[in-house]
Structure 1
């Protein structure tokens, strides 16, 4: 019998002896040792998550991986759950709603949106365990996601978009801006684009979005013109659409794309207004303002919920006046 089992026996017999002082401690320990010998016992260290929690997290992540969640999302789930169980060192079936509230209460300096995301991960985890009948109850079920401020997504105006275009100093920079604006793609989707995947005839490209869903996105004539100039300027054989400037040329990282956009934004005097996601917002807002159907924009952006797309439908005062004049029944 190993030291951990011996320690467990001593601890159990000590507890029993407190209630029954007439007990023969050595005899009890001898009887219990025969039972304990049938099991592999592992001590839970005070500064580590409970082994039961680690096992359940592995099961949860494996299930979500089969559902098609992206590696980035799975990494985020794993990190949040690891932090939670480092704070709440319990078996999953012993976790209570009070434990979760106390854990979230530690992050009083974080934005409510961030706390909401942490709670969402826990709800997904415990909800899955309950649905799989691994747990009899869901400790997160009664916890409500905090209300968030409804802020409209930022988008560039048409003059600001032109300022950004004129600030481009290289063929490469202009191609980056036009690709991100014309397609309305997420940063991760642009990062994953390959130049062989571009259909020059239909001016389109297939991308892999959230939930491993594939969709077709489209380039404008302006985007195709600057993209073609950029590709002709390259002498490398890298398959990626966006590559590093320095040799050996390789796929530009997501952080590298963000940095390049930031350089252009600074040159245009828009350093606090522009990011890859703002260009996506701009695509949605200007397209909807120009009369595009909501369902079409939803498909182009890869949104599963039309309410997500609707958040971008902020029209200008001029557009509102034009719509009133055009559609009001006199």
Structure 2
């Protein structure tokens, strides 16, 4: 099975929209099995571009997943000598089995379900826009694999391990600051600035439980003030606009990073523009920090901190740790749900790794209350103090 790697799509401005449109159009032009673009507004390839661009407007990650899944499906159609515009439910059932068994290794049920959802979304878009050329969605007749919604496959972190990560990030900042001051070369200064950036990003992700896409898409202009709090505005999954208060621990990391970045740029912090977290090239130009690079850095940091699961961690592990820590601290489920932006409390429950802890069993509280009720009549029988 071929694994496609797609460039991260930008978001946030009209220029980003133009860039995303060009990238998606180039991808659609190279898709196999589809008829050539006849130049009409409603050709299959142009409708495919519109379909993926609509997904991009809601979530860059969803758009990339759709692109990957549709590419895999159309490549399978080539091997099967199947015209995807004539596909039937029986064909999509075979595609499902092929994904479940795989040519090299079996795909997880959640992966297969997502692939079917992506292909189904594409077919639905064609059905309503091709004026009969595609008359039905063949995925509609396919039984989806069961996905366990009560558990998550993301590697978990204990709160102690999160503290180790934060301490290691502090240590890296101190070490690189010391090296730069001892020998102030441009390379050492760049490494010091990167350490400040990583520490600020780690604190923001761990303290607020944000998705990594929500963090990397932020602009400096998203930092604001509201009701006496310094805040961060962001767009969560689904396109909803949110605003969260920034705790002092997060602000310290952000302020240190932005101050050093402004100093390097020769301006004040208020004059900084662009993305909140950036890479600085050899030419001094700022570029987008992308998730794969963050994953590599996080795993290296975890390895240095002595965390056993370092090689399998992802930024999503920090989001899980946020939910678990919040619930373990007694924060009501609905407050954690609101903070994480979940529409369904069951989703929040999946993130709480300690929800099955025996120490949190309601039987403990009920048992204590029952014991106090039994003790009350005995106290009355005994009368008042002697």
TM exceeding 0.5: yes
The superposition leaves residues 135-179 of structure 1 with CA deviations (integer Å, 9 ceiling, x where unpaired) of 544322221111235544433212111111221211614322211
In the alignment, does 2:256 pair up with 1:229? yes
**Gap change, CA 1:127 and 1:66, over 3 Å in 2:** closer
In the alignment, does 2:302 pair up with 1:265? yes
Distance 1:81 1:158 in 2: 39
1:49 aligns with 33
The residue correspondences of 1:92-107 to structure 2 (distance < 5 A) are 92=84, 94-107=86-99
1:87 aligns with 76
CA contact (8 A) 1:123 1:140 kept: yes
In the alignment, does 2:284 pair up with 1:285? no
2:238 aligns with 211
CA contact (8 A) 2:33 2:84 kept: no
For residue 59 of structure 1, the aligned residue among 31, 47, 50 is 47
1:15 aligns with none
The TM-score normalised by the length of structure 1 is: 0.73
Aligned alpha-carbon RMSD (Å): 3.1
- Runs of 4+ aligned residues of structure 1 deviating over 6 Å after TM superposition are none
1:70 aligns with 59
1:101: how far off?
2.3
The DSSP-based 3-state class of the residue aligned with 2:141 is coil
CA contact (8 A) 2:156 2:353 kept: no
The DSSP-based 3-state class of the residue aligned with 2:234 is strand
The superposition leaves residues 81-130 of structure 1 with CA deviations (integer Å, 9 ceiling, x where unpaired) of 24323433555552112211223333322322322221121222334445
1:210: how far off?
2.0
The superposition leaves residues 32-70 of structure 1 with CA deviations (integer Å, 9 ceiling, x where unpaired) of xxxxxxxxxxxxxxx941418994464255256447433
1:146 aligns with 145
Distance 2:344 2:122 in 1: 22
CA contact (8 A) 1:61 1:78 kept: no
The DSSP-based 3-state class of the residue aligned with 1:204 is strand
Query: Any stretches of 5+ residues in structure 2 without a counterpart?
Result: 1-30, 174-194, 266-271, 371-386
**Gap change, CA 1:120 and 1:158, over 3 Å in 2:** same
Distance 1:79 1:211 in 2: 20
For residue 256 of structure 1, the aligned residue among 284, 288, 293 is 293
The TM-score normalised by the length of structure 2 is: 0.63
In the alignment, does 2:307 pair up with 1:310? no
2:277 aligns with 242
**Gap change, CA 1:277 and 1:142, over 3 Å in 2:** same
Query: Any stretches of 5+ residues in structure 1 without a counterpart?
Result: 1-46
The DSSP-based 3-state class of the residue aligned with 1:244 is strand
CA contact (8 A) 2:212 2:316 kept: yes
Aligned residue pairs: how many?
A: 283
1:110 aligns with 106
1:29 aligns with none
**Gap change, CA 1:325 and 1:126, over 3 Å in 2:** same
CA contact (8 A) 1:209 1:302 kept: yes
1:202: how far off?
1.4
The superposition leaves residues 269-323 of structure 1 with CA deviations (integer Å, 9 ceiling, x where unpaired) of 12235321101111111112222232332232222333221212333647415x5
The DSSP-based 3-state class of the residue aligned with 1:311 is helix
The residue correspondences of 1:126-165 to structure 2 (distance < 5 A) are 126-130=123-127, 134=132, 135-149=134-148, 151-152=151-152, 153-165=154-166
